[in-house]
Amino acid sequence: MKRLLVTGASGFMGSRVVDFYRGKYEICAPGHGEMDITEEAEVISGLRDWRPDYVVHCAAISDIGRCEQEPERSLRINVDGAVNLAKASALVGAKCLLCSSDQVYAGSIVTGPHRETEKVTPGNLYGREKLLAEEKCLEVNPDCVSLRLSWMYDARTLNEKEHGDFLRTLLAKIRTSETLRYPGNDMRGITDVNEVAEHLEAAFSLKGGVYNFGSPNAKSMYDTVHSLFEKLGWETERLARDGEAHGGNSRDLTMSQEKTNGAGIYFMDTEERLVRCIRAAIQN
């Protein structure tokens, strides 16, 4: 059995990656206390002891606001931590997948769908950290793969402490009578984390570099939810278009699928996958 090391396995994505590949790979999922990713020597000795074939690096400060509040700490975790994993993976000959984000496209003056080759200048610290991590990791390990993930969801809660997401927030609200507000000026893909986990195996064979890695969607959040409600036969009257998000400026994080599709990896369309997940969640 091939060996897979997952960092951040107590978090939202890492726990699902472990869940998805349990039984198929021999999994090592060191917690923060066992392997602090900001400690280079600890990371190198951890990987030397374990000798993984593949590394999926999910540990991070994933909250945009927390990065702004704790800039030095988030830089250490999101940039130095990623570089330590990329470097240690090269030393032990493991293929390293790093979690980047569609936030590298925040603040872009170019209209989406954004391509990986676009020159980007992220408008928030988290996005700048992710971009810097991509660049520095490729310098120390040209074979590593940075996956630009979009906003992810799951209908299940695996761990009471994990952060919430788009789908579970929506599912909790549909049982109330409150008006549901979604930005009409925020265009982005939203992706089932289980689909991301499934496609990681194909990503193990990708050439080193940066890849957009999430469901396509050209619509705003409001238009996406409106269309979802129509497809599900739900009342759309309770939906309200919010034009105030992001200081009233429109934001376009939509990602081109061309490079990922060229490598044989296809994500379902945001709306199509959400309809399927919502129907399944409601039946359960």
Instruction: List residues binding ligand NAP (CB under 6 A).
Output: 7-8, 10-14, 31-32, 36-38, 58-60, 62, 77, 81, 99, 101, 149, 151-152, 162-163
Q: 159 or 236, CB closer to ligand NAP?
A: 159
- In whole angstroms, the minimum distance from the beta carbon of 284 to ligand NAP comes to 22
Q: 81 or 183, CB closer to ligand NAP?
A: 81
d(CA 123, CA 208): 26
For residue 71, give both structure tokens.
């800039």
Q: Report the residue number whose CB is nearest to ligand NAP.
A: 11
Q: 36 or 134, CB closer to ligand NAP?
A: 36
Instruction: Note whether 133 and 146 are within 8 A (CB).
Output: yes
138-167 core/surface letters (b: 16 or more CB in 10 A; e: else): bebbebbbbbbbbbbbbbeeeeeebeebbb
- In whole angstroms, the minimum distance from the beta carbon of 165 to ligand NAP comes to 6
- In whole angstroms, the minimum distance from the beta carbon of 235 to ligand NAP comes to 28
- In whole angstroms, the minimum distance from the beta carbon of 197 to ligand NAP comes to 11
Tell which residue, 212, 211, 202, 214, has the closest CA to residue 95: 202
Q: 274 or 283, CB closer to ligand NAP?
A: 274
d(CA 193, CA 177): 28
- In whole angstroms, the minimum distance from the beta carbon of 21 to ligand NAP comes to 15
Please enumerate in sequence order all residues whose Cβ is within 8 A of that of 160, keeping only pairs 6 or more positions apart, or say none: none
Q: 101 or 141, CB closer to ligand NAP?
A: 101
Angle between helix axes 270-283 and 166-173 (nearest 10 degrees) is 50
Please enumerate in sequence order all residues whose Cβ is within 8 A of that of 243, keeping only pairs 6 or more positions apart, or say none: 183, 184, 185
Q: If DSSP codes are grouped into helix, strand and coil, which group holds residue 217?
A: coil
Q: 62 or 217, CB closer to ligand NAP?
A: 62
Instruction: Note whether 141 and 86 are within 8 A (CB).
Output: yes
CA 106 vs CA 28, 123, 148, 232: distances in Å: 34, 5, 12, 31
Q: 39 or 53, CB closer to ligand NAP?
A: 39
- In whole angstroms, the minimum distance from the beta carbon of 237 to ligand NAP comes to 29
- In whole angstroms, the minimum distance from the beta carbon of 117 to ligand NAP comes to 20
